[in-house]
């Protein structure tokens, strides 16, 4: 298999009506984007660029040597494009942008869902493994591995380097959370007995839907990587194409077995289930892991929502606690107020009415007031008894009026 194996695009009516010959006015050295020219012209220009590079290897290499990221040890592929700020070579580990090269020879930026999903998956895996998850590392291996996987450049050289989107490194390579790996730390020389990643993730694009699932499946299995995940972000070639997760696990015979399609997969490396969840095709997919301790699916967005809900619950609980305390304080204040009012009323009862109400009746009134509480206007009633002594039973609401003691 060639390293430039590409996904076949869906043909439109316009494609079927494309001219049989390329546009002679098109400069074959110019790499077109969709809309610049027709597919026949784009394919012919691409083929001519490949032919020129194969026929003039020294001149082409001199052009490559002018690039700031040129690496003389890297095997550049004649079928790919290399500019100063971007490339279509998915295996080249560099800080410049990676663009997509279609089967028709058109180039375009990565799909808008690619990078957000990559960053989100990095967050999820870091949450599980800490700082032993690396993004886009250089993975070097003996060319024999590339040859056995059927991964060759256009000139027939076996690939000896790839750049997976994410890898989970062995435990012995765990770094402190705030540490950052150097370029050397992000370069894995499996051909020099460096530790092998435990898990590899590839986010698919139109140029890699076939290559990553087939060529790299053989490569990673041959390297001994325990688990291999491919994530298709969806949304291409039509917006309603759903996202998809494929899960491969290494078997004792050294080959990968693909798990049957499921809503979630149990990862031995992660020691839990993982899934690519998409509420509907109009929304980007979310890579999540199952947290058995919390009983929920987790990713950055889910964690943020969980924290918001937790904060709201705590705030509501605090509000309820504050209301209970305020109500208890109000009740305590009212009890103290009632007790004070009772003592004032009882004191005035005995001090202002000693010659108007018999002691036994005053004692019964006090007993009733202490049991049931005095009237709210007890002081006014006591003063009224002083003015109308004969009305004391009515005014003071003495209980059991048929037993006055007189």
Q: Which pLDDT tens digit goes with each residue over 229-251?
A: 999 998 877 788 899 999 999 99
Q: Is position 379 within any domain?
A: yes
Q: Give the 3-state secondary structure of residue 231.
A: strand
Helical axes 359-372 vs 300-352, angle rounded to 10°: 180
Least confident of 130-134, 208-212, 383-387: 208-212
Is 71 in the same domain as 38? yes
Is 255 in the same domain as 313? no
Task: Report the pLDDT value the prediction gives residue 11, as an integer from 0 to 100.
Answer: 44
Is 126 in the same domain as 245? yes
Could you tell me where the DSSP H helices lie in 108-252? 114-129, 143-148, 211-223
Is 288 in the same domain as 335? no
Distances (CA, A) of 266 to 43, 246, 274, 289: 43, 12, 6, 10
CA pair distance 317, 324, nearest whole angstrom: 10
Boundary of a domain, candidates 298, 329, 361: 298
pTM listed for this prediction: 0.71
Size of the chain in residues: 406
Q: Is position 7 within any domain?
A: yes
Do residues 10 and 103 touch, judged by C-beta distance below 8 A?
no
Q: Is position 403 within any domain?
A: no
Is 265 in the same domain as 339? no
Boundary of a domain, candidates 298, 324, 343: 298
Residue from 30, 7, 35 nearest 102 by CA: 7
DSSP symbols for 252-276: TTS-EEEPPP-S-EEETTTTEEEEE
Q: Give the pair of three-digit tokens for residue 226.
A: 């325990």
Is 278 in the same domain as 379? no
Q: Which residues form the domain of 382?
A: 307-396
Is 55 in the same domain as 143? yes
Mean pLDDT computed over every residue of the chain:
88
Bond into 394 cis (ω within 30): no
Is 237 in the same domain as 257? yes
Is 389 in the same domain as 243? no
Mean pLDDT of 304-331: 95
Q: Give the pair of three-digit tokens for residue 256.
A: 């990968």
Q: Which pLDDT tens digit goes with each residue over 189-214?
A: 999 999 999 999 999 876 566 655 78
Q: Give the pair of three-digit tokens for residue 30.
A: 């110019």
Mean pLDDT of 219-223: 97
Kindly tell me if the per-residue pLDDT of 7 is higher than 70. no
For the chain, the domain total comes to 2
Is 177 in the same domain as 98? yes
Residue from 114, 130, 151 nearest 3 by CA: 151
DSSP type of residue 2: B
Measured in degrees and rounded to the nearest 5, phi and psi for residue 268 equal -65, -40
Q: Is position 406 within any domain?
A: no
Mean pLDDT of 353-358: 90
With a CB cutoff of 8 Å and minimum separation 6, the contacts of 345 are: 369, 374, 378, 379, 382
Q: Sign (positive/negative) of CA torsion 391, 397, 399, 400?
A: positive
Could you tell me where the DSSP H helices lie in 81-148? 114-129, 143-148
Kindly tell me if the per-residue pLDDT of 15 is higher than 90. no
The pLDDT-based confidence of 8 (bands split at 50, 70, 90) is very low
Percent of the chain residues topping a pLDDT of 90: 67
Is 377 in the same domain as 246? no
CA pair distance 85, 225, nearest whole angstrom: 32
Q: Which pLDDT tens digit goes with each residue over 243-287?
A: 999 999 999 999 999 998 889 999 999 999 999 999 888 889 999
């Amino acid at each position: 298999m060639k390293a430039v194996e590409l996904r076949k695009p869906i043909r439109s009516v316009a494609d079927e009506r494309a001219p049989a010959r390329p546009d002679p006015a098109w400069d074959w050295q110019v790499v077109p984007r969709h809309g610049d020219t027709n597919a026949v012209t784009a394919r012919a220009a691409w083929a001519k660029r490949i032919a020129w590079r194969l026929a003039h290897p020294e001149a082409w290499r001199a052009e490559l040597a002018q690039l700031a990221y040129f690496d003389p040890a890297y095997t550049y592929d004649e079928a790919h494009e290399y500019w100063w700020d971007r490339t279509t070579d998915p295996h080249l580990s560099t800080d410049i942008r990676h663009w997509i090269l279609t089967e028709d020879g058109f180039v375009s930026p990565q799909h808008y869902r690619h990078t957000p999903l990559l960053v989100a998956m990095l967050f999820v895996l870091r949450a599980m493994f800490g700082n032993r998850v690396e993004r886009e590392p250089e993975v070097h291996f003996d060319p024999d591995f590339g040859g056995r996987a059927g991964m060759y450049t256009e000139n027939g050289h076996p690939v000896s380097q790839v750049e997976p989107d994410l890898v989970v490194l062995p435990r012995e390579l765990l770094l402190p959370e705030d540490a950052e790996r150097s370029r050397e730390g992000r370069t894995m020389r499996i051909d020099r007995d460096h530790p092998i990643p435990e898990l590899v993730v590839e986010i698919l694009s139109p140029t890699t839907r076939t290559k990553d699932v087939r060529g790299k499946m053989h490569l990673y299995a041959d390297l001994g990587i325990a688990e291999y995940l491919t994530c298709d972000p969806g949304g291409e070639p039509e917006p309603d194409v759903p996202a998809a997760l494929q899960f491969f696990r290494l078997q004792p015979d050294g080959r990968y077995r693909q798990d049957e399609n499921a809503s979630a997969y149990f990862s031995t490396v992660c020691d839990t289930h993982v899934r690519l969840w998409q509420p509907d095709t109009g929304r980007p997919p979310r890579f999540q892991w199952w947290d058995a301790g919390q009983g929920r699916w987790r990713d950055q967005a889910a964690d943020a929502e969980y924290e918001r809900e937790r904060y709201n619950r705590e705030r509501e609980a605090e509000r309820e606690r504050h209301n209970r305390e305020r109500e208890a304080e109000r009740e305590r204040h009212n009890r103290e107020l009632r007790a004070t009012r009772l003592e004032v009323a009882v004191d005035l009862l005995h001090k202002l009415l000693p010659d108007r109400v018999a002691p036994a009746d005053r004692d019964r009134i006090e007993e009733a007031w202490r049991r049931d509480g005095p009237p709210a206007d007890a002081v006014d009633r006591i003063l009224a008894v002083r003015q109308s002594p004969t009305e004391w039973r009515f005014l003071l609401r003495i209980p059991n009026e048929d037993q006055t003691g007189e």
